[in-house]
Structure 1
Amino acid sequence: MHLMKDGGFDVSLFFRDIVSPPEDESELGLQLKPCDKLEDLQKWVRPKEQKKRVKARLSLCLGEGLNIAVGLYEAAQKGWKPDPIGLYRETNEPVRRKNRFFHTQTGSLLLPSEIKKAQVYGKKQIVMARDEVDSIKKFDDPKLFLIGFKPVEKLKLHHHIRHSHFIYPEEQEVKGSTCLFSALLKKCSERNIFALCRCISQRNHPPRFVALVPQLEEVDEGIGQITPPGFNVIYLPYADDIRPLDPPRCPPASQMQVDKMKEIVYKLCFKYKSDAFENPARQQHYRNLEALALDMKAPEDIEDLIMPKVEQIDHCLGPLVQDFKDMVYPPDYNPETKTAPKHKTADVGGGTEKKPKVELTEVELRAHLHNGTLGKLTVPLLKEACRQFGIRTTGTKKQELIDALTAKLGS
């Protein structure tokens, strides 16, 4: 049952700022037709999200004289808190920031043409002008250059070093781009291969190797698009980006322990959807802004959806966790207590093994004195050298021992 108002609902009085504006501004007034479904009402409300606009428009070079226009889109982007705006205290007008450079000795204002940049190379300061710095940074114009094709099996999981992008043809830039792009997408998907390209997304950006992985269009039962057709741009690492790992060697788990952990993992599996979890930091930020704008005593509490629900987890697992602990840990194991460090014992006598004393000869000490490396010796070695030469020292600091040895050997 709809609550109708005589003459229609006047949207322009209050809700004008939160509904999506129509193509014709004259329609933004009286809303005569009510919404029958919640989905229809949500289409009118302007969602609080990032703008879906192209990040860059590039040319995909498939060969000599064969270029198509594509648009580079962000597949995922981190949601940042809005930056605070500086206002003038008396009138609340926005203020602008302006940087100026002054000479350190004369205090005179420097123009941009009078400022140069330098880079230290080989203990020398290489001075460069601004146009020289720009020419060094520039490798090539922004574009995608096709190198070759490889099977999708060659693309490993550790090759994904950052979030991917998505490219789609731009027909309004170059006519025929959609037709050639669709043919390339179809053939790559049929042969299960990806295109290896060199990518420069923006001006003065360093080149990167990327893999264009094909993605066909998927639609639901209602002929609604689930995933669009195009190529996922996977950024590949360079040779010096891959680091060899030396993981610590631990005793392998038994098959019974592995099977028990499989049961625990199976019990805790659930269907993950990224849109079901809100960022608690951003939600708290907006709650605070809402409380300040509406003069509320305190902001509303938020539900942190990323906190684990311990009670439900314990109820779901039951005795599986305790069974796994009994299989892995010893009976007297207590994770709250710290284990005492183990001392190595000698083979005879059961006492701690002492390190043998190392004595330095007079020739070695004089060599250290001549080279100025007495400071690299340890305090026990310096004390032993003082006792060896019969030097009596009142202090035990390292510098006092070095001064005493220098006075003795230098005389």
Structure 2
Amino acid sequence: MAPYDDWNRIEEDEEEELQDVSWLEGKRDVILFCIDCSDGMLELYEDPEYEDAQTCHLYTALDAAMQIQKKKIIVGPTDQVGIMFFNTTRRGEKREQGSEIKKGTYLYQQIGPLNAASIQGLIKLLNTFREDNEFLRSEFPPVEGKYIAMGDVFTSANWILRDGAPKTATKRVFLITNQDDPHSGSEKKQLTTSARTTLVDLTQAGVVVEPFFISTDEHPFDVSKFYRDVLLPSNLVDDDEQTDPSDPSVTNESISISRIEDLLAQMRFHEVPKRAQFSVPFELGQDFIIGVKGYGLVTEQKKGAYRYFAETDDGIKVAESRTLYVNALNDKEIDKSKMLFGMDLGGDKDAVAQAGGKTSSRYDPSVMRLVKPGDRPFFNSEEVKKFRTLGLEPGIKLLGFKDSKSLQFEDNVKHSQFIYPDELSYAGSKRTFSALLQSLVTKKKIGLVRVLTRRNATPAFCAMIPQVEKSDEAGWSEPAGFHIIPLPFADDIRQAPIQKAHRAEKTLVEAAKPWIQKLTIKSGYPVDTYPNPALAYHNEQLQASAFREEYEPSDFDDQTKPAFDLMHKKIGNTIQTWKEELAKDESADIVAEPTTGNKRKADTSVDEAEIRAKYDDKTLNKLRVDQLKEFLKSRSLPVSGKKADLIERVTDHFDSR
């Protein structure tokens, strides 16, 4: 029989159908930078990197926006970026989109596809500030004596994204400010309520607001003054529960920048949008369903796909490719809906007739199509999809619970996914999800679930491991939710061979401990600090080519190279002491001889009863040549000639008996 994938592949060029249509269509990412232009953002201070130079928070925010665009034009050429300033008296001209937004806001860069010209214009703006530190203040003069309402900022951002961003894109707002209390006086309560209302409207339009708060030693940023009452909650807390307003976890995830140099690093971390891979119902019991969204926590970043361009009258455009199935007889396109899929059974027609010629009345013709003897069974695309999904609809079904200790390390053979409640699909999902999570954590249990995330996927049994919310000193937190780990089948796990080797002496082990402990990373491995060097080198070359800049390969900084000088400085003489002990160990000089694998010979032995059965059924031609020769050799008969000669000798042997 042919391999499964040869006949079970349906429309290779078609994306798998997902429950969450927004993830399928929203491949483009749109970022709108909302940057504060108040006096505090324009105040000059000594540049920590360059001597005898000054900078300001607005310059750093614009530099971060420029760096993000330079990176996105390589890794995400279909993404779009815009820049809006607020707390400025500059107004857009009538023909510009900026004239249609609220007073005190200015759209500097309209939302549109990334291109080198707009980024070079931003670079020119930054270079001009280096020559004249008052340039940004004169170009974007701040509003004197007051701050515009934050509700107007969110409203302007909503209008800009509504008119400029594609409807199916992932839309985000990067809010950058150093003002922790923009409103004061008798109108503060009213302006706070207005800001929260407009932020809710912005969120309901599918926009995610990610704030970046700039904090310095002279002016630490206090979220409790204003933004804690404005930002939306993001943790798993019931609406009726009493929460501590001083708890930072009750606000949306905000980034407090203690050093202005960290702004770009934090933006790069949040640069990739958090898209749900699936959105399915979670069945906890009979007619007891909540909604959940699934996310992939680890994704490998790869080089961008190649693109083909076609030269047209309107210029060079990206060529779209599509697959067509053509009839080889008349060269006409075939309708995909009429295509059938079948398995290659192999063998001759008589053998197929013997295997499938008998039918039974117990088969319901409405369920199973009867195939005539010698014909090949065919299935349409819907039937093949049912083979994959077993007729199930996408969703997660809770099957039961087990002790957390029952899950073994070797059970994790595939990467996990993370699920989070979806309140918009089913009301009350957040409350129910939180109750289930807390119950499993308290009882030290894990869940067993049946998971089908897509219509074209295959059902799988998974372990559901709870995770409580955790925060650290830096403000990063692990959200509360469940990890879905696919459980392996019995034949997915192999017993690894155990090879015993020489063990080091105790003195040698003790001598190795000091330098190993000094080289151990105790604070954890920061994954984002060490990018893929091959991918980074490739992207830097593309970036230099796009902006017509000279690139020196020798200037490339490989972050993954070990710091040998620092390592030798740390371990000192401890490594020399270990080497001296190693020289005294005689087992260190023993080299095991490499074992070469012997090719296993094919099993040619065959039982006489089996040969006799083939002889009686007249199916000796199904035996292999080596099996026929082995049988004839055991009977002291000649083994020369073709397969037909061998079969004839075997037949004569049994005829004579």
Q: Within 5 A, what are the aligned runs for 1:147-166?
A: 147-166=399-418
| Comparing 52-61 and 96-105, the one that deviates more | 96-105
Shift of 1:178: 1.1
User: Could you tell me which amino acid in structure 1 is paired with residue 404 of structure 2?
Assistant: V
Cα distance in 1 for partners of 2:318, 2:562 equals: 43
TM-score relative to the length of structure 1: 0.71
Contact 2:419/2:482, CA 8 A, preserved across alignment: yes
Cα distance in 1 for partners of 2:440, 2:534 equals: 42
Shift of 1:59: 1.3
Say whether residues 1:175 and 2:427 are aligned partners: yes
Alignment: residue pair count: 349
Distance 1:221 1:118, change over 3 A: same
Secondary structure at the counterpart of residue 69 of structure 1? strand
Tell me what 2:283 maps to: 61
User: Could you tell me which amino acid in structure 2 is paired with residue 127 of structure 1?
Assistant: F
| Comparing 94-103 and 18-27, the one that deviates more | 18-27
Tell me what 1:284 maps to: 537
Tell me what 1:132 maps to: 383
Say whether residues 1:326 and 2:567 are aligned partners: no
Contact 2:515/2:575, CA 8 A, preserved across alignment: no
Say whether residues 1:273 and 2:530 are aligned partners: no
User: Could you tell me which amino acid in structure 1 is paired with residue 425 of structure 2?
Assistant: E
Say whether residues 1:116 and 2:116 are aligned partners: no
Shift of 1:106: 3.5
| Comparing 272-281 and 89-98, the one that deviates more | 89-98
Distance 1:250 1:339, change over 3 A: closer
Tell me what 1:368 maps to: 639
- Write out per-residue CA displacement over residues 165-220 of structure 1, whole angstroms, 9 at most, x where no aligned residue: 11111111111111111111111111111111111111121112222211112234
Cα distance in 2 for partners of 1:363, 1:81 equals: 61
Shift of 1:261: 4.2
Shift of 1:279: 1.5
Distance 1:174 1:167, change over 3 A: same
Tell me what 1:2 maps to: 44
Counterpart pick for 2:556 among 297, 302, 321: 302
Cα distance in 2 for partners of 1:323, 1:53 equals: 55
- Write out per-residue CA displacement over residues 233-262 of structure 1, whole angstroms, 9 at most, x where no aligned residue: 222212111112223333444434443444
Contact 2:507/2:581, CA 8 A, preserved across alignment: no
Secondary structure at the counterpart of residue 319 of structure 1? helix
More helix by share: 2
Cα distance in 2 for partners of 1:240, 1:371 equals: 40
Contact 1:164/1:235, CA 8 A, preserved across alignment: yes
User: Could you tell me which amino acid in structure 1 is paired with residue 414 of structure 2?
Assistant: R
Cα distance in 1 for partners of 2:141, 2:343 equals: 64
TM-score relative to the length of structure 2: 0.46
Cα distance in 1 for partners of 2:65, 2:480 equals: 36
Cα distance in 2 for partners of 1:250, 1:120 equals: 49
Contact 2:508/2:582, CA 8 A, preserved across alignment: no
User: Could you tell me which amino acid in structure 2 is paired with residue 310 of structure 1?
Assistant: F
Unaligned runs of 5+ in 1: 342-360, 375-411
Tell me what 2:167 maps to: none
Shift of 1:274: 1.2
Q: Within 5 A, what are the aligned runs for 1:13-24?
A: 18=69, 21=83
Contact 2:504/2:587, CA 8 A, preserved across alignment: no
Distance 1:327 1:269, change over 3 A: farther
Secondary structure at the counterpart of residue 310 of structure 2? coil
User: Could you tell me which amino acid in structure 2 is paired with residue 96 of structure 1?
Assistant: E
Cα distance in 1 for partners of 2:513, 2:537 equals: 37
Contact 2:467/2:481, CA 8 A, preserved across alignment: yes
Distance 1:195 1:313, change over 3 A: same
Cα distance in 1 for partners of 2:633, 2:452 equals: 65
Tell me what 2:396 maps to: 144
Say whether residues 1:185 and 2:437 are aligned partners: yes
Distance 1:262 1:15, change over 3 A: closer
Distance 1:220 1:362, change over 3 A: closer
Cα distance in 1 for partners of 2:285, 2:494 equals: 34
Contact 1:20/1:44, CA 8 A, preserved across alignment: no
Contact 2:398/2:449, CA 8 A, preserved across alignment: yes
Give the fraction of aligned pairs with identical amino acids, expressed as a percent: 22
Tell me what 1:102 maps to: 326
Distance 1:71 1:187, change over 3 A: same
Unaligned runs of 5+ in 2: 1-42, 46-53, 70-80, 87-97, 109-139, 144-176, 179-213, 217-256, 353-375, 596-631, 646-657
- Write out per-residue CA displacement over residues 35-88 of structure 1, whole angstroms, 9 at most, x where no aligned residue: 564839738996473211211112111111111111111222111222232212
Name the Cα RMSD after superposition.
Answer: 4.0
Tell me what 2:128 maps to: none
